[in-house]
Amino acid sequence: MPDQHTDPVALLNHVGEGGETQLPAGGDHPPMTTNQGVVISDDENSLKANRRGPVLMEDFVLMEKISHFNHERIPERVVHARGAAAHGFFELTESLAEFTRAEVLTKVGQRTPVFTRFSTVAGNQGSADTARDVRGFAVKFYTQQGNWDLVGNNIPVFFIQDSIKFPDLIHAAKQEPDRGFPQAQTAHDTFWDFASLTPESTHMLMWIMSDRAIPRSYAMMEGFGVHTFRMLNEDGKSTYVKFHWRPKLGSQSVVWDEALKISGGDPDFHRRDLWDSIEAGNFPEWELGVQLFDEAFAEKFEFDVLDATKLIPEEQIPLRIIGRMVLDRNPDNYFAETEQVAFCTSHVVPGIDFTNDPLLQGRNQSYLDTQLSRLGGPNFAQLPINRPQCPMRNFQRDGHMAMNIPKGRVSYGPSSLEPTTERADPQAGFRSHPAREEGDKLRARSKTFADHYSQALQFFQSQTKPEQDHIVSAFVFELSKVDTDAVRARVLAQLANVDPAIAQRVAAGLGHDGAIPKAPASNPVRTDLKPSKALSILAKFEPTLKGRKIGCLVADGTDPALVLELEKAAETLGAFFKVIAPKVGGAKGSDGGTIRADFQLAGGPSVLFDTVVLAVSAEGAKTLAKEAAAVAFVHDAFAHLKVIGHTADAQPLLDKAGVEPDDGVVALSDSKGTARYLKQASEGRIWDREPKLRAVF
């Protein structure tokens, strides 16, 4: 009998003579059963009155299967619907015992299991990964003192200061309600209408128009807790804290045109990258850093530390690295884990506490509430992915889908009937900071929240030239998609408050003539804030090819030795090496053998790679120069400022794609060519090329 696992045609004939179907038994395949454990005899034919007769109501196998299928979907997250996640651990390297009683932050060397989910905010679950958007960065720590959820973003500030504005922000950003589009983008009237009328969003607008909003990989972005939190030590002493995640691979972004094309070329770009990296053993890793400060600093800081539209520059409060997070295991099941994981800002452990940040306070209610409708009831905490990995006992009982089976008569307290019922513990238990509050009850915002422009300017001034150019271009792109002139004009007026020069540049890009009035502002912009290097991605760039992807284009006639040499070098550098050929079956090498391919040309555009090599012979270059997908491959790599390595024979292809010589176009003509190319590629993009290729306003 042919082996069904190795013989590709062995399973083709599994329909029996009588029309019944059954895959052959044998091997280690366990029998398939119904949900009641009854073994199923045929999973491909429903029960009928005769071969061509009506389907019978009594077919419980069919009914159960279809009925379960009908209920497979749950409501997607109202925001952050699209995400990907992984398991891993957090390891503490420096104790914060002086500041907190949270054991996860005091037991050096201890590894705490984590589950971390990354997401975009605006798009629906099926939207593309590379939309311009904030990325969610949510970490669930399964600590021995209970679950701690640090539900952050890849941007350290937020659009609004008070949670009461959140539904408006999200309604404005998501699809417009009458037409149901656009999907996963802020480039439309309602978002910019809201933003232009919400001056407090200006700082955040600078960030989302920057390259931070189009990361190259989840593993190449920073994460931030955003709010100021509190730590409480054994004596109850309080210290303020802001949390930061720092990627080991360094931060990196794609360029905008690339992001647009990746959305088509591989809508799963980020989740695939996360999955593949973990499968390959290249585990994504971040350092956890904290900014710690006291009331005295909070008093003298230029802005209110409770205002989530502000950050504290690292030059003022340096980052203290206290541990690392490694993601080393992909989920077994997307729905059970990534979809059902329920993050709540209110999930904190003894030693970590909230502040009065009004955004944080609102979130504490929102996340718990949303899980009730998303996951169907109050027992979501009993799902395997949400369950704490320490003892969990209380008198909450029953409800939909209760999975725990509590024992005994006592489900109340105080009680005396059983000697081992649970009781609150004032010593080990969670205690809130006894902050003193007084004043009038009112709906108002503190005047200390009123400066909406100074840090926006500081952010812009902290960027390198290409990064500033990208911010301007992003504003131009987004506002060009806004139909209402008044909305565009209002955004310009907000920008003029940050810096009239920025507003002028955006106006020039839009072709907007005329004066740009400044929006009224209670606080004029401060120009005395020093630029902060930590706010730029490029200023901190460290050359590397680790975790990056090299795309090697081959065709018939390619020298296999060159491909092998590149592949080995890439492996040594920790880079992924992928071969792209006109046919997925591979190309015929110059030695007559086959060079295997990972991608067919049309399915492997250069946007999927950080750098490309054109490993082609004279014959191959001639053929590829007539192939639009190959020309686009090279043209895009050049336009996206990538380093291109090439054989001397590739010249006709380079010419056809309009590639001009520069530092990033490296010939592999001599024995040192490969090393030269890889060194240049590790330096990242060729930023000097950019002004030659597109208008910079």
* Active-site amino acid positions: 80, 153
Q: Least distance (Å) from ligand HDE to the CB of residue 206?
A: 16
Q: What CA dihedral angle connects 164, 166, 168 and 171, to 10 degrees?
A: -150
Whether 578 and 551 have beta carbons less than 8 Å apart is answered as: yes
Cβ proximity to ligand HDE: between 120 and 647 the closer is 120
Asked if residues 563 and 579 have their Cβ atoms less than 8 Å apart, the reply is: yes
Nearer to ligand HDE, 19 or 126 (CB): 126
Report the nearest approach of ligand HDE to the CB of residue 346 (Å): 11
Do the bridges between strand 352-353 and strand 238-247 make them parallel or antiparallel, or are there none, so unpaired? unpaired
Handedness of CA 408, 409, 414, 417 (dihedral sign): negative
CA distance to 253, 509, 534, 610, per residue, from 695 (Å): 20, 9, 28, 23
Nearer to ligand HDE, 291 or 674 (CB): 291
The residue (of 127 and 606) whose beta carbon lies closer to ligand HDE is: 127
Tell me which residue has its CB nearest to ligand HDE. 136
- Listed in sequence order, the DSSP H helices in 94-201 are 166-173, 189-196
d(CA 526, CA 520): 15
Contact predicate 190/180, CB 8 Å: no
**Side-chain-side CA neighbours of residue 474 (13 Å):** 26
- For 20-53, letters b (16+ CB in 10 Å) and e give eeeeeeeeeeeeeeeeeeeeeeeeebeeeeeeee
Say which residues have a Cβ less than 8 Å from residue 678's Cβ, sequence separation at least 6: 545, 569, 570, 573, 645
Cβ of residue 416: shortest distance to ligand HDE, in angstroms? 40
Q: CB of 377: closest distance to ligand HDE in angstroms?
A: 15
Is 83 or 605 the residue whose CB approaches ligand HDE more closely?
83
**Strand-pair partners of 232:** 238
**How far apart, in whole angstroms, are the C-alpha atoms of residue 215 and residue 284?**
14
Considering the complex, what minimum distance in angstroms separates the CB of residue 230 from ligand HDE? 16
Amino acid identity, position 163: S
Please state the closest distance from residue 506 (CB atom) to ligand HDE, in A: 26
- Give 330 or 674: the residue with its C-beta nearer to ligand HDE: 330
80 or 588, CB closer to ligand HDE?
80
Closest distance to ligand HDE from the beta carbon of 235 (Å): 29
Least separation in angstroms between residue 286's CB and ligand HDE is 15
Q: What is the CB neighbour count within 10 angstroms for residue 245? A: 22
Q: Which is nearer to ligand HDE, 363 or 646 (CB)?
A: 363
Q: What span, in angstroms and rounded, lies between the C-alpha atoms of 471 and 463?
A: 9
Please tell me the distance from the alpha carbon of residue 207 to that of residue 535, in angstroms, as a whole number: 10
| Distance, C-alpha 163 to centroid of its chain | 23
Interface residue list for ligand HDE (CB under 6 A): 77-80, 83, 117, 119, 136, 138, 151-153, 158, 163, 166, 226, 308, 343, 359, 362-363, 366-367, 370
